[in-house]
Structure formats: C-alpha cells, structure tokens
C-alpha cells in the first residue's frame, strides 16, 4: 500500500490500526508524513504530525530535514504552513 502511495488507503489503514488498538510504529508514521509532504498533502501531513505529539513517537532526521527543506523557502509549502500544528510552524522563520 505504501509503495503505491494511495493516500486514502494509508488513511484507512492507519484508522483501522487505531481502532484495533494497534499502535503504529514511529517508522511507519514518519514514512506516511514524508509521503504526504512529497505529494503536497500538507493538511493531511499536519494531521499525522499532530498524532506524533503526545505519543512515544519522534520525528526521524529525514522527516525533520524534509520539513525544513520544504517550508524554509518561498512557495506553496510556505504559504500553507498554517496547516501544520503550531509546534511545527516555527519553520516559517527560516529562509
């Protein structure tokens, strides 16, 4: 599912895991966040970033690096930074 990159299928899989009380791995959530950001799905990526908060999950260096790269320059991502949780909007100050 993840290799094909179907956003809806990923959302459904993640939702099913949550309903089954099956905690997704940090690696899976980071992969989903990167995939969504690369597809320009900023609001959905923000939703998954908010799932990281309050859990024993941390962002991987590659996810943080992608966030910095995308949101530190002018353009579509910078214009939509408010779609991210407030905690991640500090990227707006870079660049």
Q: Look at residue 45 in the predicted model and tell me its pLDDT.
A: 92
Q: What is the pTM of this model?
A: 0.78
Helices H / strands E in the chain, number of each = 5, 0
Q: Cα–Cα distance between 61 and 73 in angstroms, integer?
A: 19
pLDDT-above-90 percentage for the chain: 14
Long-range pairs of 86-90 with CB within 8 A, sequence gap ≥ 24 = 87/49, 87/53, 88/46, 88/49
Determine the pLDDT at residue 73. Answer: 79
| Chain segment 38-69, per-residue pLDDT in tens | 989 999 999 889 887 766 788 899 998 999 88
- Provide the residue ranges of all domains of the chain, joining segments of one domain with +: 7-89
Span 11-25, pLDDT tens digits? 888 888 888 988 778
């Amino acid at each position: 599912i993840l290799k094909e990159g179907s956003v809806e299928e990923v959302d459904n899989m993640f939702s099913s895991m949550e309903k089954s009380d099956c905690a997704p791995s940090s690696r899976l959530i980071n992969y989903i966040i990167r995939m969504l950001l690369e597809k320009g799905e900023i609001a959905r990526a923000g939703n998954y970033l908010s799932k990281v908060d309050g859990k024993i999950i941390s962002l991987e260096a590659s996810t943080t690096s992608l966030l910095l790269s995308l949101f530190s320059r002018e353009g579509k991502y910078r214009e939509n930074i408010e779609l991210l949780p407030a905690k991640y909007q500090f990227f707006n100050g870079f660049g």
